[in-house]
Amino acid sequence: MTVSTRNHRLRPAGAWFEKCGWKPFAFQKQAWKAHLEGKSLLIHSATGTGKTLAAWMGPLLDGLANPIDAESWTKVRGKPASPPLMALWVTPLRALAGDTLFSLEQATAGLELPWTIESRTGDTSAYIKQRQRQRLPTVLVTTPESLTLMLSYPESTEHFRFLRAIVIDEWHELLGSKRGVLLELALGRLRTMRPDLRLTGISATLGNLEQALEVLVGPGSDRPTEIIHGRTDKKMVLSAAIPKNMERFPWAGHLGTRMSAPVAQAINSAATSLVFANTRNQTELWYQQLLQSDPNLAGLLALHHGSLDAEVRRWVEDALRAEKLKAVVCTSSLDLGVDFSAVDQVIQIGSPKGIARLLQRAGRSGHQPGAVSRLLFVPTNALELIELAAARKMIQRGQLEAREPVDSPLDLLAQHLVTRGLASPYQRDEIWLELRRTFAFSKLSPEELDWVIAFAKHGGDSLSHYEDFKRLEENEDGTLQVTNPQTARRHRMSIGTIVSEVAIQVRYMTGKNIGTVEEGFISKIKPGDRFLLAGRLLEFVHLRDSIAWVKKSKGTPTTVPRWVGGRMPLSSQLSQGIREQIEATSNGVFDGVEMKAVRPILELQRRWSHLPKANELLIEQIRTREGYQLFFFPFEGRLVHEGLATIIAHRLSRHRKITFSMAANDYGFVLQSAIDPNVSFGEIQSLFSKEGLMDDITAGLNATEMAKRQFRETARIAGLIQVGYPGEKRSGRHLQASSDLIFDVFQEYDPSNLLLQQARKEVLRNQFEWERLQRTLDRIHQCELVCRNPLRPTPLAFALLVDRLRERLSTETLADRVRRMQADLERAADAK
Amino acid sequence: MKGYRLHIAETTLLLHPSGAAFWKEESTLFVADLHLGKSTTFRRGGIPIPAGSTTCTMDRLIDCIETLNASRLVVLGDLVHARCSWDKELQEGLARLSERLPKGNFLLVEGNHDLGSRSRWEDFSIERQVAPHPLGPWILLHDELTERPQASNDHRVYLAGHVHPAIKLRRFGETIRLRCFSLYNNCLTLAAFGSFTGAKTLDLSLGQQYFAIVDDEVISLT
């Protein structure tokens, strides 16, 4: 093929761009060329830089160059015939499907292709779904779950006969989650059906792009691939709101009401801002504070988070699009989605905990041509300024977090074996090959596969224990299949990986839905209690029919809803950056606005104790009113610290009669005891040994309780807990059991069940970042231990002390107590 | 095994750590909510729950009868889990149990889960009773909420099941859930005896007495 022929094939795209008054970017043309050459791609680029068209024009151009014969077209009475299903566009958010559809339709019509485009997600009506089972459009915009569902029907082989290309949007979001594995399995199936399939993944910038591409196309694939680097030259301005009076003893949690004035100012100085907070609670509190700070914002300020009613959220999104709002206070609920062209500023409250996340959030602003992305960072405690300085450095170096792919989730495999068996019978060896070609199951052992097959067939490999159970059946020729219609129906209802928390609907007495809160919260409050939700103060009336009825109220909240989730730790990369920043300060270097602002704090830390270099581990022993405090500062993120605290406390109490209480944050952890633990230097070194690590962490905590909690997800995905469906007969109630109970029964009567093991493994990974914890111990081995005995709590120690107190004191008492402690320490700091 | 001797209805009931209540005066053992055959029901419904709990429940019950020397057994409802719970294991187990008791001394106050199995009781010499059923100083029920007469001057004590009571205790940030018996307003609700049964956490309220089962003991909490 000569160069001119290739350019000739791109010409229709160029012509359409010209008509629209655009000019294609180099990376877009590169992507189109690569696709036409038959490659699978990973396109990564900053948001709003033309990724959609980079991914979509390729399949369109291919459609023009290699059309399908008219005799294979879908004929519909009364409508023009259209080509059969040729391309899929997979998106993680069903809410995005509508907007995506529009963009794809525009481009498709622009190239004058007679293609039909439809979406199919959980929101698609039953009527349309039924119609699609008969006749599919040329392009389908869908989600991983809906795609898996389609693959569960016998007619799927027929449906996908002409499939040529799949685009996977927001691949970085799916990678590293079980949903990503669900998609990997679907892609594996489709690759077997259609060996010439071309995949295009669209991703935000990641630290492991090659791996992200490998996971997409499957390991050992002989398909040519290419990574397309999009525009990364998007100009971005990162700044921080620096508090006027920097306290030298910062602590987390007092949301800095002092900061709401500068934030309100920033909102007023921009056209439209997105204000990101790390938890749903914080968004509610900030919303109130901003209105108090600047009452003129009323009507121009909105709230958006996952527990608000879907209608409310849609209203906010529409208002943003129509440029009716000045600012929206939100959580990660607005991380994905269509870029709102009105947004020209992002305000990030509190640390985003990761560099990639910081970049992505900043990238949500400045979509007008030539505009700049702007992010204003608002620290919730002074030490967070160090995090911004570190993030800046890492961005310059291009050191971003990787998204670790999930390894061998057996619960999902159990679900997949049944899904596969619904479509058509298959041999064990067939599926073995197909699985090994997916990244998630590339290391699956034959024994594990056999166990899961046995589980899906008759529940576990001890036949005698599971008489009467049948889900996957084995035919005479050895093929596996599901034919029971009831099994089929129940299974299709529960395809997926999303395990929802039990959410209680919150509704006005007049009938309007406001949002949801968790069952645990409702069970603890009494009628008359007041709490904030959706920006309003509500009074709890009563709980009836599983609905929490409320009415509008005045005054102040008496309680705070608590939602699970949102407490991410510092990423590995950002932690490293922070250690480097502190090392610089130990050499007297305070580079940049943020570091200059925290200088007084760090200088005091040095005076009273020490500023550690990157290859040092700082340990402080302090005696306070509360007892003997042993502080460790590995700067490795809260989860790893919680794990280390558990292990070290356990090891220390092995040869002493002593109990420890502990606290951990992203910078370090503390062990507190009533009597002096009298730890020698030599002993401290042995505390970080990797020997007996697993035993020590399981001994130190309630491993069973944690495994049970994790098992809830496993039980749901593997089909041990059935999702009820509408109109279910009463007999369905006989099959209800909690995952706790099932865990107990398994442990008692089938303890070698691999699902139990999986739950335990996942606890270690999710709760303690097990691999990262081990790497931390390796790193600490190379470190020099620096021990200090300051007379008073240092700035680094202070935050942890407050966390310990927080568990025992109420909010008001805590605030008072902290203020007094700070005053004492400030006086001491001024004296010396 | 250390039970709790509850003085009530001018007699004594031994609240046993297995979840049973023994009335020594008439050698009668009261149990509730066995849900025999529950795991079979799940397997037949397409959920892979291992077998073993039915036999375990049966063994524990027979053990209880022998240790305490009971000559009469009263089941306060939900003896079996469902109509599709019946299999060889269940039938053999009930036959074994029935043999241990003198004829006419195996009573069942029917619960909501027993309804589909009515035709089977005869085969095991189980005498079916309908709530509320008087027995000496007691009135036997399965579900207090629906079966207790509204206004009554009766000073007899109600014995019931159905609830599967449990309480939550909090200590130093840890919570534990314990099965229990609960006594309130002249009604004693027994713990669920069955091995594969869930439990409902009760809200602690004034005036209610709880007898928590902690390993091998029953401890009174107020």
**Which chain A residues touch B40 with a CB distance below 8 Å?**
468
Residue A525 has pLDDT above 90, yes or no: no
Q: How far apart are CA A177 and CA A405, in angstroms?
A: 7
**Which strands sit side by side in the sheet containing A616-624, from one edge to the other?**
A661-664, A669-673, A627-633, A616-624, A784-788
Nearest residue in A to B86, CA atom:
A468
For chain B, give me the number of helices (H) and strands (E)? 4, 16
- In chain A, the residue whose alpha carbon lies closest to the alpha carbon of B200 is A738
From chain B, the residues in CB contact with A460 under 8 A are: 48, 50
Give the pLDDT confidence score for residue A230 in this predicted structure. Answer: 86
How far apart CA A133 and CA A141 sit, in angstroms, is: 15
Residues B51 and A749: beta-carbon distance below 8 Å: yes
What pLDDT score does A421 carry? Answer: 95
- pLDDT for A728 equals 47
What chain A residue is nearest to B175 in terms of C-alpha separation?
A: A705
Q: How far apart are CA A320 and CA A284, in angstroms?
A: 19
Query: Which residue from A39, A13, A434 is spatially nearest to A201, judged by alpha carbons?
Result: A39
Percent of chain A at pLDDT exceeding 70: 93
Domain ranges of chain B: 4-220
- The beta strands (E) that lie in A728-821 are given as 784-788
Whole-number pLDDT of residue A1: 39
Looking at per-residue confidence, does A781 or B174 come out higher?
A781
Could you tell me what percent of chain A has a pLDDT over 90? 47
Q: Give the separation between CA B9 and CA A822, rounded to whole angstroms.
A: 62
At residue A544, the pLDDT reads 82
Q: What is the pairing mode between strands A513-518 and A503-508?
A: antiparallel
Q: Is B22 helix (H, G, I), strand (E, B) or coil?
A: strand
A256-265, A412-421, A449-458 — which one is most confidently predicted on average?
A: A412-421
CA distance A808 to chain B (A): 10
Given an 8 Å threshold on Cβ–Cβ distance, is B45 in contact with A471? Answer: no
Q: Which residue of B has its CA nearest to A732?
A: B45
β-strand A236-240 against A373-378: which pairing, if any?
parallel
Which chain B residues are closer than 8 Å to A467 by Cβ? 43, 51, 87
The SS3 assignment for A174 reads helix
Contacts of A753 in chain B (CB under 8 A): 50
Contact A468 B48 (CB under 8 A): no
**pLDDT tens digit string along A107-142?**
999 999 999 999 998 878 888 888 887 789 999 999
- CA–chain centroid gap for B92, Å, is 20
CA-based nearest residue in chain B for residue A464: B51
A-chain residues within 8 Å CB-CB of B84?
A: 734
Amino acid at B109: V
All residues of chain A having their beta carbon less than 8 Å from the beta carbon of residue B197 are: 741
When CB atoms are compared, the residue of B43, B53, B82 closest to A749 is B53
Q: What is the mean pLDDT of residues A248-269?
A: 78
Lowest mean pLDDT among A114-118, A446-450, A592-596, A764-768: A764-768
Q: How far apart are CA A59 and CA A82, in angstroms?
A: 16
Q: Chain A residues with CB inside 8 Å of B46's CB? A: 469-471, 484, 486-487, 490, 719, 722
Q: What is the dihedral sign for C-alpha A375, A380, A382, A386?
A: negative
Closest partner CB to A471 (pick from B46, B113, B195): B46
User: In angstroms, how far is the first alpha carbon of chain A from the final one?
Assistant: 78
Give the mean model confidence (pLDDT) for residues A556-570: 79
Beta strands in B62-161 (DSSP E): 72-75, 106-109, 127-129, 133-135, 138-140, 157-160
Burial tier of B153 (Cβ tally within 10 Å: 0-12, 13-18, 19+): exposed
Q: Please list, in sequence order, all residues whose beta carbon lies within 8 angstroms of the beta carbon of residue B152, skipping any fewer than 6 positions away.
A: none
Model confidence pLDDT, tens digit, residues A751-778: 888 898 888 888 888 888 898 999 999 9
A-chain residues within 8 Å CB-CB of B50?
459-460, 462, 465-466, 745-746, 749-750, 753
CA-CA distance, A740 to A724, in Å (whole number)?
A: 18
Helices (H), A611-753: 638-652, 681-687, 693-700, 703-717, 739-749
Q: Which of A103, A25, A13 is nearest to A65 (CA)?
A: A13
Handedness of CA A711, A717, A722, A723 (dihedral sign): positive
Strands of A547-552's sheet in order across: A513-518, A503-508, A547-552, A536-544, A530-533
Residue A187 in 3-state DSSP?
Answer: helix
For residue A689, give every residue at least 6 positions away whose Cβ sits within 8 Å of its Cβ, in sequence order, or none. Answer: A777
Average pLDDT over residues A266-276: 94
**Which residues in chain A are contacts of B117 at CB distance < 8 A?**
none
How far is Cα of residue B24 from the mean position of the Cα atoms in its chain? 17
Query: Which of A78-97 are b and which e, b meaning 16 or more Cβ less than 10 Å from the residue's Cβ?
Result: eeeebbbbbbbbbbbbbbbb
Chain A residues close to B173, C-beta within 8 Å: 807
Distance, CA of B218 to CA of B214 (rounded, Å): 6
| Farthest CA pair distance, chain B | 52
pLDDT digits (tens, 9 = 90+) for A701-754: 777 878 888 898 888 888 888 765 444 444 456 777 888 889 998 888 888 888
Give yes or no for residue A236 having a pLDDT over 90.
Answer: no
Q: Which residue has the tokens 């040994």?
A: A689
Distance CA A288, CA A255 (A): 12
Check B51 against A467: CB less than 8 A apart.
yes
Query: How many angstroms away from the CA of B187 is the closest CA of chain A?
Result: 25
Contact A459 B48 (CB under 8 A): yes
For B114, nearest residue in chain A (alpha carbons): A734
**Looking at the partner chain, which of B47, B51, B195 has a beta carbon nearest the beta carbon of A720?**
B47
Chain A residues with at least one Cβ partner in B under 8 Å: 455, 458-460, 462, 464-471, 484, 486-487, 490, 702, 719-720, 722, 731, 734-735, 737-738, 740-742, 745-746, 748-750, 753, 807
Lowest mean pLDDT among A85-94, A468-477, A784-793: A468-477
Region for A637 from its dihedrals, namely left if φ exceeds 0, alpha if ψ lies in -120 to 50, beta otherwise:
left
Chain B residues in contact with A486 (beta carbon < 8 A):
46
Q: Are the Cβ atoms of A745 and B48 closer than 8 angstroms?
A: no
Domain covering B4-220 in this structure, CATH number: 3.60.21
> Closest partner residue to B46 among A487, A742, A748, by Cβ?
A487
Mapping DSSP to helix (H, G, I), strand (E, B) and coil, where does residue A550 land?
strand
- The complex's ipTM works out to 0.83
Q: What is the mean pLDDT of chain A?
A: 87
Per-residue pLDDT at A210 exceeds 90: yes
**In this structure, are residues A580 and A614 in contact, taking their beta carbons and an 8 Å threshold?**
yes
Please give the residue of chain A at the shortest CA–CA distance from B55: A749
Q: How far apart are CA A734 and CA A194, in angstroms?
A: 43
Q: Return all residues near A757 (Cβ < 8 A) that are at least 6 apart.
A: none
Task: Output the 3-class SS for A245-271.
Answer: CCCCCCCCCCCCHHHHHHHHHHHHHCC
Report the gap between the CA of B57 and the closest CA in chain A (Å): 13
Q: Residue A120: phi, psi to the nearest 5?
A: -145, 105
Integer CA distances (angstroms), A528 to A517, A531, A559, in order: 16, 10, 10
CA distances from A752 to A462, A559, B40 (A): 10, 44, 20
The pLDDT value recorded for residue B64 is 94
Name the residue among A469, A741, A807 with its Cβ closest to that of B198. Answer: A741
pLDDT tens for the 222 residues of chain B, in order: 788 999 998 899 999 999 999 999 999 999 999 999 998 888 887 788 888 899 999 999 999 999 999 999 999 999 999 998 999 889 999 999 999 899 889 999 999 999 989 999 999 999 999 989 999 999 999 999 888 887 777 788 999 999 999 988 876 556 778 899 999 988 999 999 999 998 888 877 777 899 999 888 888 886
**Beta bridge partners of residue B188, listed in sequence order:** B159, B183
Q: How far does the CA of residue A50 sit from the closest CA of chain B (Å)?
A: 48
Distance from CA of B175 to the nearest CA of A (A): 10
